[in-house]
């Protein structure tokens, strides 16, 4: 019997950086009966192993009441007794079972008939969610007497589970990755929802991801129901749990990409991150994706502008979660979650009205200022230390945001200071009644509650086009200001209006407005002081003159004129 210590480098398609991501149809390592060496399967086990010795093979256990060496063979012998009717999925589950180092890292194929009292809970963009009972429960250990698996639940009357039925799940790629994401953390007791296995709906033939159930629902519901009794310390502990879960995800080289209060679950005092359907490798972003998925206020502005999704974008979402935990209101509550809000989040609402003085303008700073969009209004009674961290999370510049690990450390320090009474717990604001937010597009976010947060599906090119228009208006406004100031100076000197000369800065502006190297083919010249035509009338002239300036009280207008 060969050692099944994982990673099995002999398994085709195995990735050491992401051990649950495989190429198509990976083959399983073969079993070789008769091999009894126990040194191999305990290579990574400490000499002072806390789990003790396996009574069967006398090797080191890899988890509580769990021996990977022995249990992998029990799993292997049972491979012929079940099938998902999909070879890829079968191989995926089988390798997961061979790899299991403790009970939490076991993945099973679960027959649908094992579920009882199945009830519809919610619909998302990619799935339908149900609650169900699973009386038999998950694998817990090997029963040497019965020569079978011991099953059951850690607590009495805790057999409720979640069934996430994936729509149109004939395409296995996305489903595999969600399973992969869950299983990155399966061997840890962490703040990420546990996945028990996979099933299939007998009516639609769609695949089902079976996960743990959170008795208290999602954080949005919990915060709404318990706002007056949810203590400040409990809120900070909740934020710490979220940060710990996100650290786990980021350490695995993954990004959540859809973090909001509807995807964070509460089970007693335990908080868990759920819905890893969009969870993806840090280097695997689809640059050709034309739609934005998620709950709009929690989507980072750079993502709305089609920049690469990074860990900092997940941290931006935590900033919005902090706002909701403090205020009891969703960010931008009362507004439609639509393209107009997306544009304002990216670039503000009145950028075309801004006039800059010459001393303020720096090309590298202009772009940064252009993209300073709106954020939720902060009340005056919010603690300063809380407000600073929250605003740093939603900073416009991703590089200025803290990391998930930074947040974990910060929240832990707050908890410690609260315990020692070194940090004052503020009086929570009076919670305002909810204002309904119309849903203007299909729900793409995978919430497991019936009261779904509005989500957005916006073609990114529309947002980008509007931002480009505002950028052009901003550059034009700056150029206008320079022209006006020059006209004023010349008028005060009462001298003739000399032809305006190009400066490096104006050339750069012209190139940005009309395209690279445009300044080589354009000259600037003033319109005579007696010219009283309006800018609109000038724009209609058939002389190919492109009007940029605006009328001043001296009726001086400069134009960019193609040579």
User: CATH code at 166?
Assistant: 3.30.200.20
Residue 44 vs residue 472, higher pLDDT: 472
* CA distance linking residue 396 with residue 372, whole number of Å: 6
Tell me whether residue 199 is in a domain: yes
Alpha-helix residue ranges (DSSP H) falling in 285-351: 301-304, 311-327, 339-347
Among 143, 178, 212, which residue terminates a domain? 212
The overall longest dimension of the chain from CA atoms, in Å, is 107
Q: To the nearest whole number, what is the mean pLDDT of the chain?
A: 71
Q: Which two tokens stand for residue 184?
A: 């990155």
Model confidence at 354: pLDDT above 70 = no
Q: Does residue 95 belong to any structural domain of this protein?
A: no
Give pTM, 2 decimals: 0.66
Q: How confident is the model at residue 21 (pLDDT cuts 50, 70, 90)?
A: very low
What total number of domains does the chain contain? Answer: 2
Residue 164 lies in a domain: yes
Is 96 within a domain? Answer: no
Task: State which of 41-45, 183-187, 188-192, 206-210 shows the largest mean pLDDT.
Answer: 206-210
**How sure is the predictor about 431, in pLDDT bands with cuts at 50, 70 and 90?**
low
Weakest-pLDDT range from 146-150, 351-355, 473-477: 351-355
Closest CA to 293 of 460, 488, 464: 460
Q: With contact defined as beta carbons under 8 Å apart, do 124 and 452 qualify?
A: yes
> Does 279 reside within a domain?
no
User: Looking at residues 44-49, what average pLDDT do you find?
Assistant: 56
pLDDT band at 154; cut points 50, 70, 90: confident
Would you state the pLDDT for residue 131? 94
Average pLDDT over residues 467-495: 62
Cis peptide before 428 (omega within 30 of 0): no
**Which of 86-95, 152-161, 527-536 ranks highest by mean pLDDT?**
86-95
Distance of CA 461 to the CA centre of its chain: 20
Mean pLDDT calculated for residue range 359-377: 57
Quick count: other Cβ atoms within 10 Å of Cβ 187? 17
Which of 297 and 24 is assigned the larger pLDDT?
Answer: 297
What is the rounded average pLDDT of the residues 491-495? 60
Domain membership flag for residue 84: no
Q: Which residues are 203's β-sheet partners? A: none
The yes-or-no verdict on residue 262 having pLDDT over 70 is yes
Does the pLDDT of residue 142 top 70, yes or no? Answer: yes
Q: What is the pLDDT of residue 86?
A: 86
pLDDT for 248 equals: 86
Percent of the chain surpassing pLDDT 70: 56
**Mean pLDDT over residues 321-344, rounded?**
87
Look at residue 447 in the predicted model and tell me its pLDDT: 33
Least confident window among 171-175, 288-292, 364-368: 364-368
Q: How would residue 499 be classed by pLDDT, with cut points 50, 70 and 90?
A: very low
pLDDT at residue number 474? 58
Q: How confident is the model at residue 26 (pLDDT cuts 50, 70, 90)?
A: very low
Model pLDDT, residue 448: 30
Span of 442-446, 475-479, 526-530 with lowest mean pLDDT:
442-446
**pLDDT surpasses 80 at 205:** yes
- Judged on CB neighbours under 10 Å (0-12, 13-18, 19+), 233 is middle
| Confidence at residue 126, expressed as pLDDT on a 0 to 100 scale | 74
> C-alpha dihedral over 293, 297, 299, 303, to 10 degrees?
100
What is d(CA 364, CA 289) in angstroms, rounded to the nearest whole number?
A: 28
Better-predicted residue by pLDDT, 134 or 274: 134
List the single range of 9-13, 287-291, 320-324 with lowest mean pLDDT: 9-13
Average pLDDT of 255-282? Answer: 80
Which whole number is the average pLDDT over 376-403?
92
pLDDT at 215: 86
- Whether residue 57 contacts residue 125, with contact meaning beta carbons closer than 8 Å, is answered with no
- Predicted confidence (pLDDT) at residue 357 exceeds the cutoff of 80: no
The lowest-confidence range among 346-355, 477-486, 498-507 is 346-355
Residue 524: inside a domain, yes or no?
Answer: yes
Last residue of a domain, one of 182, 197, 212: 212
Q: How far apart are CA 377 and CA 363, in angstroms?
A: 29
The whole-number pLDDT of residue 453 equals 41
Question: Which of the residue ranges 172-181, 346-355, 443-452, 464-473 would you say has the lowest mean pLDDT?
Answer: 443-452
| Pick from 513, 447, 445: nearest CA to 474 | 513
Percentage of residues in the chain having pLDDT higher than 90: 31
Instruction: Report the alpha-carbon distance of residue 492 to residue 402 in Å, rounded.
Output: 51
The range of the structural domain enclosing residue 494 comes to 479-562
**Is pLDDT above 50 for 380?**
yes
Confidence of residue 341 (pLDDT cuts 50, 70, 90): confident
Which residue matches tokens 């990976």? 26
Helix (H, G, I), strand (E, B) or coil at 226: coil
Q: Is the pLDDT of residue 150 over 90?
A: yes
Tell me whether strands 148-151 and 139-143 are parallel, antiparallel or unpaired.
antiparallel
The answer on pLDDT for 307 being more than 80 is yes
Among 212, 230, 254, the domain boundary falls at 212
Of 208-212, 277-281, 429-433, minimum mean pLDDT range: 277-281
pLDDT value for 199: 93
Task: Report yes or no on 31 lying in a domain.
Answer: no
* CA–CA gap between residue 102 and residue 49 (Å, rounded): 14
Instruction: Quote the pLDDT of residue 359.
Output: 33
């Amino acid at each position: 019997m060969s050692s099944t210590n994982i990673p099995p480098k002999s398994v085709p398609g195995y990735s050491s950086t992401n051990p649950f991501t495989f190429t198509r149809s990976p083959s399983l390592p073969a079993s070789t009966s008769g091999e009894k060496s126990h040194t191999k399967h305990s290579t990574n086990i400490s000499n002072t192993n806390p789990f003790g010795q396996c009574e069967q093979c006398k090797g080191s256990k890899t988890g509580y009441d769990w021996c990977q060496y022995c249990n992998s063979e029990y799993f292997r012998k049972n491979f012929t007794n079940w099938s998902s009717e999909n070879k890829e999925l079968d191989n995926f589950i089988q390798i997961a079972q061979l790899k299991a180092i403790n009970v939490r890292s076991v993945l099973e194929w679960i027959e649908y008939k094992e579920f009882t009292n199945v009830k519809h809970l919610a619909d998302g963009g990619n799935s339908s969610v149900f609650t169900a009972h699973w009386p038999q429960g998950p694998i817990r250990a090997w029963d040497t007497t019965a020569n079978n698996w011991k099953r059951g639940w850690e607590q009495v009357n805790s057999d409720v589970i979640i069934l996430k039925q994936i729509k149109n799940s004939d395409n296995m790629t996305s489903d595999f990755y969600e399973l992969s994401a869950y299983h990155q953390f399966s061997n840890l007791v962490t703040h990420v929802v546990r996945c028990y296995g996979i099933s299939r709906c007998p009516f639609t033939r769609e695949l089902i991801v079976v996960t743990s159930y959170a008795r208290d629902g999602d954080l949005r519901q919990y915060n709404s129901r318990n706002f007056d009794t949810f203590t400040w310390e409990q809120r900070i502990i909740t934020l710490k749990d979220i940060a710990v879960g996100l650290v786990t995800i980021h350490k695995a080289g993954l990004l959540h990409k859809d973090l909001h209060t509807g995807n964070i679950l509460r089970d007693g005092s335990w908080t868990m991150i759920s819905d890893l359907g969009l969870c993806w490798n840090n280097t695997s972003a689809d640059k050709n994706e034309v739609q934005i998925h998620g709950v709009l206020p929690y989507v980072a502005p750079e993502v709305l502008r089609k920049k690469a999704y990074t860990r900092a974008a997940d941290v931006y979402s935590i900033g919005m979660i902090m706002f909701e935990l403090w205020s009891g209101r969703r960010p931008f509550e009362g507004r439609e979650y639509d393209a107009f809000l997306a544009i304002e989040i990216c670039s503000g609402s009145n950028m075309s009205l801004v006039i800059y003085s010459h001393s303020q303008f720096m090309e590298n700073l202009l772009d940064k200022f252009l993209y300073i969009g709106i954020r939720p209004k902060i009340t005056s009674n919010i603690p300063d230390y809380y407000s600073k961290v929250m605003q740093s999370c939603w900073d416009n510049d991703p590089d200025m945001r803290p990391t998930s690990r930074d947040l974990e450390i910060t929240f832990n320090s707050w908890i410690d200071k609260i315990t020692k009474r070194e940090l004052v717990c503020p009086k929570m604001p009076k919670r305002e009644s909810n204002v309904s937010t119309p849903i203007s597009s299909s729900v793409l976010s995978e919430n497991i509650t019936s009261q779904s947060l509005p989500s957005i599906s916006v073609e990114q090119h529309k947002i980008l086009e509007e931002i480009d228009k505002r950028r052009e208006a901003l550059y034009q406004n700056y150029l206008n200001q320079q022209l006006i100031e020059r006209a004023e100076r010349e008028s005060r000197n009462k001298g003739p209006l000399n032809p305006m000369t190009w400066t490096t800065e104006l050339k750069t502006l012209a190139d940005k407005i009309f395209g690279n190297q445009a300044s080589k083919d354009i000259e600037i010249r003033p319109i005579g002081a007696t010219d009283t035509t309006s800018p609109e009338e000038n724009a209609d002239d058939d002389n190919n003159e492109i009007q940029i300036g605006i009328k001043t009280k001296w009726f001086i207008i400069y134009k960019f004129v193609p040579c």
